[in-house]
Amino acid sequence: MSEHPVRPFAPQDDAFRWSDVELRTYKEEGTAPFRAVTRQTLFSRPDMRGELRYFEIAAGGHSTLERHLHAHAVVILRGRGAVLVGDRVFPVGAHDLVSVPSLTWHQFRAAPDAPLGFLCMVDAERDRPQLPGPEDLADLRANAAVAAFLAGS
């Protein structure tokens, strides 16, 4: 497949969009809990081992709470919110860099009144995310800040 070397940025309806990039749902519905997340795969090439995706979480939405062997390197592009990495919660905003190490619980949440849009660099070939079981959730909620984050407050 030949692609045009430049695919312009084309904001639509107050959302970040690139021309000729398919707007997809974040994951298959019903496979994992999440809310109000879209995904655009900006770069996925057979001659590179990484992929670059852009996710946008609408105000009040969140990504799946998960962990996996592969790591994430994230650049926040717009909006604000908070991120859980391991057993710590951090406020994030535009231009923050977020490192998610291997096998570390993580979740992104947009603020109630602002979206959270970010680039995510990831291995093209990667393991499937693991979801927390009851014991994992109990361990996470033992930390008050994490419990408040997971409750969306």
Annotated catalytic residues are: 120
Tokens of 90: 């951090």
Which residues lie below 8 Å from residue 143, measured CB to CB, with a gap of 6+?
A: 87
Q: Please give the Cα distance from 123 to 138 (Å, whole number).
A: 30
Strand (E) or helix (H) holding 134 = helix 134-141
Q: What are phi and psi of 46, to 5 degrees?
A: -65, -20
